[in-house]
């Protein structure tokens, strides 16, 4: 299968390319607007694996992008060129027009939440698959909830927190995405109703199994909208991000306060500056990051229970996690697995056990803890 990775030399795209380049069922195209970077990575991968990885210079914003996909005979496109907050569906629409499958790593709430209704008709007509949110959220997070809550009568709450390592590779696009809702009101399912909470403000302590406790603040992700309905959550669905250096967490909280009070209009404009400045805090942090998913509800026996799944990723391998769902889906499609045509969010498309070999490859350790 001819697979094009859009943004293939970027922070996440390069990781996906390295994983797929070793797969004999994939003919890889490293794609983007920078010919030098695309060619350099393609040459490196071809020399390492001998699978014929090649470079493609493309502009996904071109009105003729569907013709470009046909020219390169693309059968699957993996879109990693974020941030997805504020993007439209032009890339996905071009894939449908070109008769190609589509996968993205989007974590923008509106992008993922509205994707299925917007893209269902063209992808059904093309008899192709379009999957959005094939990343840590909601792909991995839903696999964890499914594993923890199998057979339960009711789910009362889901609490998720991602804790990146301070020294892990960062990207300006990723930082711009998380700053887009810093200090902005986020609709959160809390107390069985929708409530507005300010993004990145009022950090709270979060405990982890293999990491020291950190301060975590509410962030806007697709799960906040998708999970309450999908899992019929009775009380609460919350997502937080916990930076390793407390000073950084409070800096984000201060930016949120400035925006909330009308003193800072667009925190995303500071992404480049903050990305460069973050290196100053690296000596205060480590290469250890992780994630926790906590659930509470009533199990199959009618007993109220609380469970948690933790993962710890050392040696700055944490950024591999957002790439895993897309890699797994691409391998399944390249192997000839038949999937129902149409567009959908990546909720419930993976079993947690599918991620286990990927975790092991990077030395990641997970734990399931019964919390009472």
Separation of alpha carbons 209 and 228, rounded Å: 26
Tokens at 62, concatenated:
């071109």
Q: Per residue in 102-134, pLDDT tens?
A: 999 999 999 999 999 999 999 999 999 999 999
Average pLDDT of the residues in 78-87? 90
How large is the average pLDDT for residues 244-254?
Answer: 94
Sign of CA dihedral 323, 274, 87, 100: negative
pLDDT given for residue 48 in this prediction? 87
Does 97 score more than 80 pLDDT?
A: yes
pLDDT value, residue 173: 80
pLDDT band with cut points at 50, 70 and 90 for residue 7: very high
Percent of the chain with pLDDT over 90: 91
Q: What are 16-75's pLDDT values in tens digits?
A: 999 999 999 999 999 999 999 999 999 999 988 888 899 999 999 999 999 999 999 999
Q: Work out the mean pLDDT of the chain and round it to a whole number.
A: 95
- Using the predicted structure, report yes or no on whether residue 171 has a pLDDT greater than 90: no
Task: Please state the domain extents for the chain.
Answer: 2-135+319-350, 137-317+357-370
Q: Is the dihedral of CA 180, 245, 201, 276 positive or negative?
A: negative
Task: Give the per-residue pLDDT at 170.
Answer: 77
* Domain 137-317+357-370: top CATH class: alpha beta
Contact partners, residue 301, CB within 8 Å, separation at least 6: none
Whether 86 has a pLDDT exceeding 90, the answer reads: no
Amino acid 278: pLDDT: 86
Q: Cα–Cα–Cα angle for 68, 72, 74, nearest 5°?
A: 95
pLDDT digits (tens, 9 = 90+) for 268-327: 999 999 888 888 999 999 999 999 999 999 999 999 999 999 999 999 999 999 999 999
Among candidates 149, 164, 101, 89, which has minimal Cα distance to 338?
101
359 close to 337: Cβ distance less than 8 angstroms? no
Percent with pLDDT over 70 in the chain: 100
Q: Against a cut of 0.85, is the pTM above it?
A: yes
CA atoms within 13 A on the CB side of 149: 26
Residue 117 in contact with residue 130, Cβ under 8 Å?
no
Q: CATH topology for 2-135+319-350?
A: Rossmann fold (3.40.50)
User: Six-digit token pair at 258?
Assistant: 């400035």
């Amino acid at each position: 299968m001819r697979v094009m990775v859009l943004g293939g030399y970027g922070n996440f795209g390069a990781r996906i390319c390295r994983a797929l380049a070793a797969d004999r069922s994939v003919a890889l195209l490293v794609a983007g607007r920078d010919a030098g970077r695309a060619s350099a990575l393609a040459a490196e991968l071809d020399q390492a694996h001998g699978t014929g990885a090649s470079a493609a210079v493309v502009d996904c914003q071109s009105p003729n992008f569907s013709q470009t996909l046909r020219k390169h005979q693309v059968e699957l496109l993996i879109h990693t060129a974020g941030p997805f907050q504020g993007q439209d569906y032009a890339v996905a629409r071009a894939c449908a027009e070109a008769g190609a499958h589509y996968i993205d790593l989007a974590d923008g709430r509106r992008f993922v939440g509205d994707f299925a209704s917007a893209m269902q008709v063209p992808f059904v007509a093309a008899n192709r698959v379009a999957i959005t949110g094939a990343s840590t959220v909601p792909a991995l997070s839903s696999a964890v909830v499914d594993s923890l809550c199998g057979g339960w009568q009711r789910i009362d709450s889901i609490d998720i927190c991602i804790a990146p390592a301070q020294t892990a590779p960062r990207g300006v696009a990723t930082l711009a995405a998380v700053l887009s809702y810093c200090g902005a009101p986020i609709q959160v399912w809390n107390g069985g109703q929708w409530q507005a909470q300010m993004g990145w403000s009022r950090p709270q302590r979060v405990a982890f199994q293999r990491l020291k406790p950190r301060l975590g603040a509410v962030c806007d992700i697709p799960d906040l909208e998708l999970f309450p309905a999908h899992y019929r959550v009775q009380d609460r669905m919350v997502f937080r991000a916990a930076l390793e250096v407390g000073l950084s967490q409070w800096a984000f909280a201060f930016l949120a306060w400035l925006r909330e009070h009308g003193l800072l209009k667009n925190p995303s404009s500071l992404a480049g500056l903050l990305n460069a400045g973050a290196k100053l805090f690296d000596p205060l942090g480590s290469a250890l990051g992780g994630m926790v998913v906590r659930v509470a509800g009533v199990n199959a026996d009618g007993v109220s229970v609380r469970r948690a799944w933790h993962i710890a990723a050392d040696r700055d391998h944490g950024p591999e996690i957002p790439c895993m769902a897309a890699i797994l889906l691409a391998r399944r499609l390249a192997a000839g697995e038949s999937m129902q045509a149409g567009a959908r969010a990546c909720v419930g498309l993976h079993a947690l056990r599918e991620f286990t070999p990927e975790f092991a490859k990077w030395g990641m350790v997970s734990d399931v803890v019964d919390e009472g």
